[in-house]
Amino acid sequence: MSEQAGVLSGEDFVSTERLMGRSAQAAAALAQAGVGAGDVVAILLRNDIPFFEAAFGAGLLGAIPVPINWHGSADEVRYVLDDSRAKLLVAHADLLAGVRDALPAGLAVRSVPTPAAIADAYRVAPDACPVAGDDVAWAEWIERHEARPGTPAAAPWGLLYTSGTTGRPKGVRRAAGDPGDPAQARTLAALLAAIGVEAGMRTVVTGPMYHTAPFTYGLQVARLGGSIVLQPRFDAEQLLALIERHAITHLHMVPTMFVRLLALDAATRARYDTSSLRVVTHAAAPCPPDVKRAMIEWWGPIVGEYYGGTESGAVVACDSEQWLAHPGTVGKPIEGAIVRVYGEDGCVLGPGEIGDVYMRLTGLPDFEFHGRPEAKAEIERDGLVTCGDVGYQDEEGFLYLCDRRRDMIISGGVNVYPAEIEACLQQLEGVRDCAVFGIPDREFGESIAAIVEPEPGATLREQDVVAHVRARLAGFKAPKHVEFRAELPREDSGKIFKRKLRDPFWAATGRSI
């Protein structure tokens, strides 16, 4: 990487100054295309420099960037485009080819050639990488426009699609903040510290930026003039090489990445100099205690953790020293955060008492679920919101998580909705009923299990179940474990008693999910 601050993607480097200039050109181009304040610019890009240009360019106009999970099927991408009412889509050429037939009528599209590093990482055929003949190329389009005056005062919040129990994600839309509000400034500073962002840092963005945390992390680092290496796809040994080559100081990771790093043999791990690292932060999924201890032993007491959600932001955090003194905690409330644990009767519980965890960052602007004003009430209590987790706080205020109310599966930091997979499986001929849930997975935290009750006389195989889901949903939603039962356990109401199916898988872990 150049000694200049900026973003490196494969062999392509752009300085922070040039990135902000190109973002201002993007703003001018978007404005000419009819995009204005409050409009939505959808981003179907892997980690690449144009992702930053599109997000910052939209922000200059007061428009809203919407990163889309590019692992999704064409129908899933169409759902986000429709639900967000996107006015313009920026997409990598090969991804655009896969969703073109599902795009809403009238949607403006700009295409980005798929870079060689990304094509190699994802085995994209060379002929799928260039911009198609009739498409408008993003780079040439923005370069025809003079830069729009001004720079983003802050990284855009974005409209970020997150978990739900109905199988369809909900868009979290946060009100614009007031940069001059001291309380907001203090809370934002605390949030950035919790996720491991500071001026002048050098980092590798290892996770896909359609996720809330990498999206926020990457844009904030760029806004503060940090140096970013975009890893096309996480590879453990490649990450070690990047740390050494670019003297990386900060990382934001998920526990699955720790597991893969620790799986490297000792000689490979010793081959690379990681002494430049100062701050390593993780979140998004439970981290096995032995994995976290091993990372602290390897990289030193620089491993921090935080917990929160798209709706709340990071609300608690802890460093290595705090975690070692309070093993298993996910952290203590940061400045501006409120965390309460409620019992079944709605009363606030005391230290050590297990109940539903609710939280809020008081200094941040409030949020709403896009197009669903009633949905917020489902997760709100006394002005606080829940991610559906059950836990407790100790006498010092450190939070521990024990369980989840929702059935949502978190696999490798990715949210998966069982209801969506169950609905898909119920369309498979021969399936009478089914239950989908998460089971322990050392690498991913959780993997997807499906227990299927076949119709009498039906002959189903595991590969039939997996293939059916893969053909209709994103590949990562296909079950990794499939069982068949003549009869599923049911409550008196007739509802499947999912906990009876799920608990045996978790019994040996000491956790109940």
The reported pLDDT for the residue numbered 143 is 97
Q: Give 406's pLDDT tier (boundaries 50, 70, 90).
A: low
Which of the pair, 180 or 486, is modelled with greater confidence? 486
CA gap 497, 493 in Å, rounded: 10
CA gap 197, 324 in Å, rounded: 22
Domain 409-509 has CATH 3.30.300.30: yes
User: Comparing C-alpha atoms, which of 336, 291, 296 is closest to residue 316?
Assistant: 336
Q: What is the dihedral of CA 290, 295, 296, 299, to 10 degrees?
A: 170
Which tokens in the block code for residue 188? 């934002």
Beta strand 227-230 with 6-9 is parallel
Query: Alpha helix locations (H) across 180-314?
Result: 182-195, 212-223, 236-246, 255-262, 266-270, 289-299
The reported pLDDT for the residue numbered 493 is 47
366-405 exposure pattern, b = at least 16 Cβ within 10 A, e = fewer: ebbbbeeeeebeebeeeebbbbbbbbbbeeeebbbbeebe
Which of the pair, 184 or 129, is modelled with greater confidence? 129
Residue 380 dihedral angles phi and psi, to the nearest 5°: -110, 145
Which tokens in the block code for residue 101? 């037939």
- Residue 499 scores a pLDDT above 90: no
- For the ranges 173-182, 328-337, 504-513, the lowest mean pLDDT is seen at 504-513
Rg for the chain (alpha carbons), in Å?
23
- Residue 174 scores a pLDDT above 50: yes
- Residue 351 scores a pLDDT above 50: yes
pLDDT tens figures, 89-116: 999 999 999 999 999 999 999 999 999 9
340 beta partners: 358
* DSSP at 486: S
The reported pLDDT for the residue numbered 407 is 72
Pick the CATH number of 180-366+383-406 from 3.10.180.10, 2.40.40.20, 3.40.50.12780, 3.30.360.10: 3.40.50.12780
- For the ranges 5-14, 16-25, 240-249, 501-510, the lowest mean pLDDT is seen at 501-510
The reported pLDDT for the residue numbered 433 is 86
Q: Give 301's pLDDT tier (boundaries 50, 70, 90).
A: very high
pLDDT tens figures, 191-211: 999 999 999 999 999 999 999
Domain ranges across the chain: 16-152, 180-366+383-406, 409-509
The reported pLDDT for the residue numbered 156 is 67
DSSP 30-64: HHHTT--TT-EEEEE--S-HHHHHHHHHHHHTT-E
What angle (nearest 5°) sits at the alpha carbon of residue 78, between those of residues 72 and 80? 80
Domain 409-509 in the same topology as domain 16-152: no
The CATH-assigned architecture of domain 16-152 is 3-Layer(aba) Sandwich (3.40)
Residue with tokens 């990457």: 218
